[in-house]
Structures are given as structure tokens and as C-alpha cells.
Amino acid sequence: MYAQLVETGAQRVRGTDELEGQERVFQERIDAGVKIEPKDWMPEGYRKTLVRQISQHAHSEIVGQLPEGNWITRAPTLKRKAILLAKVQDEAGHGLYLYSAAETLGVSRDALIAQLHAGKAKYSSIFNYPTLTWADIGAIGWLVDGSAIINQIPLCRCSYGPYARAMVRVCKEESFHQRQGYDLLLALCNGTPEQKAMAQDALNRWWWPALMMFGPSDADSVNSAQSTQWGIKLFSNDALRQKMVDQTVPQAEYLGLTIPDPDLKWNEERGHYDFGAIDWDEFFNVIKGNGPCNRERLATRVQAYEDGEWFREGLNAHADKQAARGAAAA
Ligand code: ACO
């Protein structure tokens, strides 16, 4: 059973009782926990919201390969290189499942990729930060994939069947990603003082951007109310962010690292950690395209796509030939 009427500072939506006709029947199905499938009737807004979110998610997986791919040739051991290669390949796979889920809503992967390459589509803010040292690879696994899991486990129960099912496998793989990042940092923290300092520096730079991954505060989240009513969002941006902080602080303590937040403090009454103010100006600046690596990331993606043109042409020519042979034989 999903929430029926939700209101945030940014949006108010109509409750089931206020809806009529097909829209009401649709909402009643969602309220009853029935999954929506591609051929079912759905409001145009529901379809658009899913295409928006799933495609942003797919783009994030694809662009998310770049900061880590940057370190494959420089991984310090064969074992770490093999792990990183597997992880980066997994991210490509996640992108493909997600583009496929979006295609069930009547939009083509080519159209979505064209939007990304034209700079018209969003992808996660986190991938616009640079990976300066090897410890950043650990911090991405621990904090970025850790946050991704917290955000994505509820999506396995979201109302749209193809998205929910794609998320099951994605979350299993994300768990391995989170684990390998933590293991990498554990090795650095048990190493030389210089290695431990490198791990601390990575935490200092990735902590706040990782908290921003969950999106604007609930009061400023323009899509949350409607997405919650439609069972796309099961927990609010702030609730998931709080979960990430509560879960990560003890993990940092185990590593012997300090979270770079002087206001971080256990609040006995709330049963949660209080934490400092997020720099939302930085967040909105990054999602507008002005983060440290936005232009570089987009240019690399476009270049990779153009470099792959000959290969796509070859595949298409082969597919056409096979189809022609099949038609001739029939
Ligand atoms: N980076 C970039 N844009 C963001 C981010 C972020 N971290 N957080 C929010 N936004 C954008 C939203 O896309 C929205 O923009 P739009 O309306 O132009 O599309 C705007 O900021 C306002 O935010 P919300 O109203 O809160 O948007 P929404 O309800 O979509 O919630 C959230 C944002 C939580 C990220 C949601 O889209 C989601 O759960 N997405 C699926 C998970 C995902 O995409 N993860 C990607 C990173 S994980 C990984 O790849 C390893």
C-alpha cells in the first residue's frame, strides 16, 4: 500500500478520492500494490516521470563508468585491476537494463542517448567529480555505490514492473561494488600513514557529494509528492540521506577515518545522527552543468559514441544480411 496523499513544500497532489475514471482505477491498483506493466493504461504523467527517472538513472550508470575507468590501467595489483574491470563492466550492464526498461515506455534508446549527448538530459551529480587518487576508487565503491544501494533497494518494490525487476539484479551487483570499495579502503587504512592519509583525503572530498546524490531536501524536491503517490518513490530524499549517514558513520569509525563534518553528532532523542548543512548551491550548480568535470564527461561520452560508429555500422550490416538470408530461405 503506497501513500495516498502527499504534500511537500514544492508540490501537492490529489489523493485517490479526488481522482476520477481511468486515473482513479489506476491509482487504486497502485494503492493495492499491483504492479503496472507496459501494456496497461497509465496516465501520461506517470509514463513521463518514469522515462525521466529511468533514463537519468541509465545515463548515470553509463557516465559513472568514466571516473573509475580512468584508473583501470593504474590499479596497483592484478587482483584490484580485475575487480575494477568487473565493476566498470557491471555499470555498463546496469545502463543497458535501464535503457531497456525505459524502452518499454515507448521511447527508443537512441533518442535517450541523443538527449544525453546534446547535454539535455541529467545524470547523477556525483559523476562530475574527479578521481584524483587510487583511494577515490575505494571511496566511490563505499560511499557512492553504498548510497546507490540505499536509494535503489526500495526501487525493487516500485510500482512499475520492468523498472522494479531490473533493480533486483542491479542491487545485487551494487552490493559487490560497495564491498570491494570498503575492502580497498580497509587495506589503505591498515597500510602506511601515507596510505591512510590518502583514504582520509578521499573521504573528505567524496562525503558531501555522496550526500547530495539523494537529491534536494524534501521541501525543495519538485517531483517527490507525485512520485510517492504513484509508488515510484517509497522513501523521501531526506529519509534515505539520513539512512546513509546512520549506516556510514560506524563504518568510518571502523576504518579509523573522520567524517568531514564538525556538526555530526548522535542524537539520542531522534535515534539518528544530526549532520551539518549541505551546500545546495554547489549541488544545483553541478546539475546545471557547471561541476568540476561536467564538460569533460560529456565530451568523453560523445567521443566514445563517435568512435564506435564503425562497429555499430558493422553490426547493422551483419543483422541486415542475416535478415535478408532468413527472408530468402522462407
Ligand atoms: N544528480 C542530478 N540530478 C538530480 C539529483 C542528483 N543527485 N538529485 C535530484 N536531481 C534532479 C532530479 O532529476 C530533478 O530534475 P528534473 O525534474 O529536471 O528531472 C530535480 O533534481 C529535482 O529533484 P527531485 O524532485 O527530488 O527528483 P526525483 O523525484 O527524480 O528524485 C532521485 C531524485 C532521488 C535521484 C530519483 O530520481 C531516483 O531515485 N533516481 C533513481 C536512482 C538514480 O538515478 N541513481 C543514479 C546514481 S546511482 C549510480 O548510478 C551508481
CA distances from 285 to 64, 117, 128, 144, 213 (A): 19, 19, 11, 19, 14
Distance 284 CA to ligand 1 centre (A): 12
The pLDDT value given to residue 6? 53
Short-list 149, 297, 307, CA closest to 235: 149
Length of the chain: 330
Pocket test residue of 46, 223, 284 for ligand 1, highest count of atoms within 8 A of CB? 223
User: How many CA atoms lie within 13 Å of 146's alpha carbon, on the beta-carbon side?
Assistant: 28
Distance 213 CA to ligand 1 centre (A): 7
Q: Which atom of ligand 1 is nearest to the CA of 224?
A: 29
- Phi, psi (5° rounding) for residue 36? -95, 135
The pTM of this model reads 0.94
Pocket test residue of 124, 226, 242 for ligand 1, highest count of atoms within 8 A of CB? 124
Is the distance from CB of 206 to CB of 139 less than 8 angstroms?
A: yes
The pLDDT value given to residue 14? 83
Distance CA 301, CA 66 (A): 8
- How far is CA 1 from its chain centroid? 25
- Phi, psi (5° rounding) for residue 7? -140, 130
Lining residues, ligand 1, CB within 6 Å: 52-53, 56-57, 60-61, 64, 122, 124-125, 145, 148, 151, 212-216, 221-224, 227, 233, 237, 287
How many CB atoms lie under 10 A from the CB of residue 109?
Answer: 16
Q: Tell me the three cell numbers of residue 205.
A: 572530498
Distance CA 264, CA 51 (A): 37
The helix/strand/coil state of 288 is helix
Mean pLDDT by 10 residues, the chain (330 residues): 50 80 95 97 98 98 96 97 97 97 97 96 97 98 98 98 96 96 98 98 98 97 96 98 98 98 98 98 97 97 96 95 92
Sign of the dihedral through C-alpha 140, 143, 148, 153: positive
Q: What is the pLDDT of residues 281-318, one digit of tens each?
A: 999 999 999 999 999 999 999 999 999 999 999 999 99
β-partners of residue 12 are 7
Distance CA 167, CA 158 (A): 9
The pLDDT value given to residue 1? 43
Distance CA 300, CA 273 (A): 39
Distance CA 14, CA 313 (A): 49
